[in-house]
């Protein structure tokens, strides 16, 4: 089952809207059209903490129609270049170069289903061993990405960053205590306070 992406828009340090992309973009579009001399409105993808830009020109209907062509929402077939050669882009298989020692290549070449299948199997096995750790790393990285965009000029930013990557949620929470309320709440939501972030 595909994960539903959610987004949060900030106007300055305050949350403007949060949820699925359509209502969030509609709220941002309304501010874009009606207000002047406002703090910047920034939209973040909750799963990654990364800022996402949307084309807000035109009517609200045109803005929503263009979402289908946004890189986050275009189909895999649309995003994959039309090409021949190695890889199966329609299946989501992407060819990239990797560097291995000769002994690694020799082992891979002995695998019955080929080198690519063996590498995919090894990656899936590794991912399945510590799914909670992987999720914790994703949450930590999302918090870090959001902090760089929104909190770089706030007090104790460096101390909070060190606590985040040290995997110390109590110390992290103490350093962000004086930050604007919506910023604090969003960071806690991304991190899911009470669950230990993965140490770097």
Q: What is the pLDDT of residues 127-152, one digit of tens each?
A: 666 566 777 788 899 999 999 999 99
At 199 the pLDDT is: 52
3-class SS of residue 146: helix
At 27 the pLDDT is: 95
Euclidean distance between CA atoms 139 and 161, whole angstroms? 14
* List of residues 6+ apart from 7 with CB closer than 8 A: 18, 19, 20, 21, 24, 25, 43, 44, 45, 46, 52
pLDDT band at 78 (very low <50, low <70, confident <90, very high): very low
pLDDT at 16 over 60: yes
pLDDT at 37 over 80: no
At 131 the pLDDT is: 60
Q: What is the average per-residue pLDDT within 79-87?
A: 47
User: Mean pLDDT over all residues of the chain?
Assistant: 82
At 82 the pLDDT is: 47
pLDDT band at 81 (very low <50, low <70, confident <90, very high): very low
Residue the block writes with tokens 């020692």? 101
Residues 9 and 16 sit within 8 Å (Cβ to Cβ): yes
Q: What is the average per-residue pLDDT within 162-177?
A: 93
pLDDT at 94 over 70: no
The tokens describing 191, both together, are 């991190």
Is the pTM higher than 0.85? The answer reads: no
pLDDT at 160 over 90: yes
Residues 47 and 53 sit within 8 Å (Cβ to Cβ): no
pLDDT band at 92 (very low <50, low <70, confident <90, very high): low
At 108 the pLDDT is: 82
pLDDT band at 44 (very low <50, low <70, confident <90, very high): very high
At 130 the pLDDT is: 59
Euclidean distance between CA atoms 60 and 71, whole angstroms? 19
At 79 the pLDDT is: 37
């Amino acid at each position: 089952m595909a994960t539903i992406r959610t987004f949060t828009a900030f106007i300055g340090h305050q949350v403007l809207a949060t949820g699925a992309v359509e209502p969030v973009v509609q709220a941002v579009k309304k501010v874009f059209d009606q207000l002047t001399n406002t703090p910047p409105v920034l939209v973040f993808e909750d799963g990654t903490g990364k800022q996402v830009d949307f084309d807000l020109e035109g009517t609200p209907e045109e803005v929503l129609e263009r979402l289908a062509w946004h890189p986050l929402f275009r189909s895999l077939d649309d995003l994959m270049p039309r090409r021949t050669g190695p890889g199966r882009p329609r299946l989501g298989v992407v060819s990239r170069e990797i560097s291995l020692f000769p002994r690694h290549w020799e082992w891979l070449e002995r695998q019955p289903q080929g080198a690519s299948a063996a590498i995919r199997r090894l990656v899936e096995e590794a991912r399945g061993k510590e799914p909670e750790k992987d999720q914790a790393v994703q949450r930590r990285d999302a918090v870090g990405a959001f902090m760089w965009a929104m909190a770089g000029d706030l007090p104790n930013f460096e101390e909070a960053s060190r606590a985040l990557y040290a995997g110390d949620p109590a110390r992290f929470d103490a350093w962000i205590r004086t930050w604007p309320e919506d910023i604090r709440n969003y960071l806690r939501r991304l991190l899911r306070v009470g669950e230990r972030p993965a140490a770097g």
